[in-house]
Amino acid sequence: MRSSAYVLLAVAIVAEVVATSALRASEGFSRLVPSVIVVIGYGISFYLLSLTLKSLPVGIVYAVWSGAGIVLITLVAALLFKQIPDLPAVLGMGLIVAGVIVLNVFSKVSPH
């Protein structure tokens, strides 16, 4: 059950990254197609995120979701919008990733 929860979490993260990328393209919700993508993407993301909480601890889920989202959005911004992170940003994201790894590998938090 836990492995399927992580699959749902991964899809939730991808949906959130797509929605956040479309948020920039929506230009303050003034463009219809990107705005619809934002609403649908966040809806899918939060729905799947809620399903993962049935079998995984909320702290772990949120750490993975937000940490992976930060890194992936930064990669998308660099590739699509030419917003290249500087060294402190890369180091900070490295610390976030390290924290998520520590939580997943060493934490003994129970699901309920």
Taking alpha carbons only, the member of 38, 66, 40, 62 closest to residue 50 is 62
The predicted pLDDT at position 110 comes to 60
- Convert the pLDDT of each residue in 24-58 to its tens digit: 899 999 999 999 999 999 999 999 999 999 999 99
Domain regions of the chain by residue span: 2-106
- Convert the pLDDT of each residue in 10-19 to its tens digit: 999 999 999 9
The percent of residues above 70 in pLDDT, for the chain, comes to 96
Is 21:73 a contact under the CB 8 Å cutoff?
A: yes
Q: What is the pTM of this model?
A: 0.87
Judge whether residue 112 has pLDDT over 70. Answer: no
Taking alpha carbons only, the member of 75, 69, 1, 81 closest to residue 41 is 69
The predicted pLDDT at position 59 comes to 87
**DSSP-assigned states of every residue in 24-90:** HHTTTTTSHHHHHHHHHHHHHHHHHHHHHTTTS-HHHHHHHHHHHHHHHHHHHHHHHH-----HHHH
